[in-house]
Amino acid sequence: MPNDSSAIETHGITRDFDSRKGFLFREVTHTEALKGIDLTVERGAIFGLLGPNGAGKTTLTKILSTLLLPTQGQAFVLGHDVVRDADWLRPRMGLVLGGERGLYTRISARENLRYFADLYGIPRTDRERRIDEVLARVDLEEAADRRVEEYSRGMKQKLHLARGILHRPQILFLDEPTIGLDPKSARETRKLVRSLVADGVTIFLTTHYMFEAEELCPKLAVLSKGRIVAQDTVANLRHLVGGDRTLDVEAYGFDDRELDSLRHLPGVSRFLTEEFGPVSRVTLRMRTDELRVDQVHAALPNHPELMVRERRTSMEDVYLDLVEEEAR
């Protein structure tokens, strides 16, 4: 049975696809898109799902939003099974997939929302008031009666969001809501997402943007090749990959002895090397404040051009470490 405090709970969710190709489509290709997903999302918060293209993010989102059946396993949303209780769940959830699909471009935004209001079963007596509310919330009041085909991509994304919250859902699934948006539109979208949480809506967010996940999501999961490779707070995920502090060390090449010297400096918990043309970069991840910048310089006395930059471990570092580790 699902936990009453959870907005989402999954147990061993898998999803397989078979596709045909070749002469007369006789060759069958079997793909495991999801390979046993166990996930818990608390109510009233933003939960982020990160992962590269093809990791299974959209597939999982469609299963949780009742658009796709799992091959195996169980998924519960708001305490109800997504397969058995789909009819109960659909009026209580919103889904924003973005892009051009899902909107009728030859009619106005207001007419789009009237159509969806009728689908959601919003009473006619409340419909116009509710449409005006969501148009104001996404800042489309002045453009409400223009054809959607005249809208910019950012305006269309705002209309997607307006449609997603029109019926006041308890949980909202956002599949990469800011992809392709200019910085101003993306910032406005993130601001709207935060305001929805203040209203008690649970947000399930998939994104490619690491800074966005770090800014919005108290907890998140990293999905790679159909598996959850980590699920925790941002702070705990930093600790998982080696710590909050990172030192980037750059010079024109390091020999094996120098690399070994850096690897064994005090406090180093993770050691990565990269090449950028003639420049070599060594990334040192640390759990403690034990290592100082001057110690790095002392370990490499033959590099007067040496550059050492100290920074906080970013969400991009965490993500790349986890995904690359899974790929090994």
**pLDDT at site 169:** 95
Instruction: Evaluate whether residue 137 is within a structural domain.
Output: yes
Give CA–CA dist 146/53, Å, rounded.
34
**pLDDT at site 181:** 80
Q: How many other CB atoms are found less than 10 A from the CB of residue 301?
A: 9
Give residue-wise pLDDT tens across range 2-32.
666 799 999 999 999 887 776 666 777 888 9
**DSSP element (H, E) containing 239:** helix 234-240
Instruction: Evaluate whether residue 321 is within a structural domain.
Output: no
Domain CATH code at residue 264: 3.30.70.260
Give CA–CA dist 145/163, Å, rounded.
15
Q: Confidence band (pLDDT; 50, 70, 90) for 247?
A: very high
Helix (H, G, I), strand (E, B) or coil at 313: coil
Give CA–CA dist 57/283, Å, rounded.
29
Same domain, 297 and 200: no
Give residue-wise pLDDT tens across range 291-323.
889 999 999 999 989 999 999 888 888 888 888
> Average pLDDT in the 157-181 region?
90
Same domain, 152 and 197: yes
Instruction: Evaluate whether residue 1 is within a structural domain.
Output: no
Same domain, 131 and 31: yes
Domain boundary at 236, 268, 283, which? 236
Domain boundary at 219, 236, 253, which? 236
Same domain, 207 and 157: yes
User: Could you tell me the residue range of the domain that residue 184 belongs to?
Assistant: 6-236
Instruction: Evaluate whether residue 328 is within a structural domain.
Output: no
| Helix count and strand count (H, E) for the chain | 11, 14
Instruction: Evaluate whether residue 39 is within a structural domain.
Output: yes
Same domain, 166 and 63: yes
Give residue-wise pLDDT tens across range 170-186.
999 998 888 778 888 88
Same domain, 201 and 305: no
Q: Confidence band (pLDDT; 50, 70, 90) for 42?
A: very high
Query: Model pTM?
Result: 0.84
Same domain, 171 and 287: no
Same domain, 189 and 222: yes
Total count of domains within the chain? 2
Give CA–CA dist 250/213, Å, rounded.
28
Instruction: Evaluate whether residue 257 is within a structural domain.
Output: yes
In percent, the amount of the chain with pLDDT more than 90 equals 58
Instruction: Evaluate whether residue 45 is within a structural domain.
Output: yes
**pLDDT at site 98:** 63
**DSSP conformational letter for 257:** H
Q: Confidence band (pLDDT; 50, 70, 90) for 106?
A: very high
Domain CATH code at residue 35: 3.40.50.300
**pLDDT at site 244:** 84
Same domain, 38 and 109: yes
Same domain, 83 and 101: yes
Same domain, 180 and 294: no
Give residue-wise pLDDT tens across range 198-243.
889 999 999 888 888 888 999 999 999 999 999 999 889 888 888 8
3-state secondary structure 48-109: EEECCCCCCHHHHHHHHCCCCCCCEEEEEECCEECCCCHHHHHHHEEEECCCCCCCCCCCEH
Domain boundary at 190, 220, 236, which? 236
First and final CA of the chain: distance in angstroms?
A: 36
Same domain, 199 and 147: yes
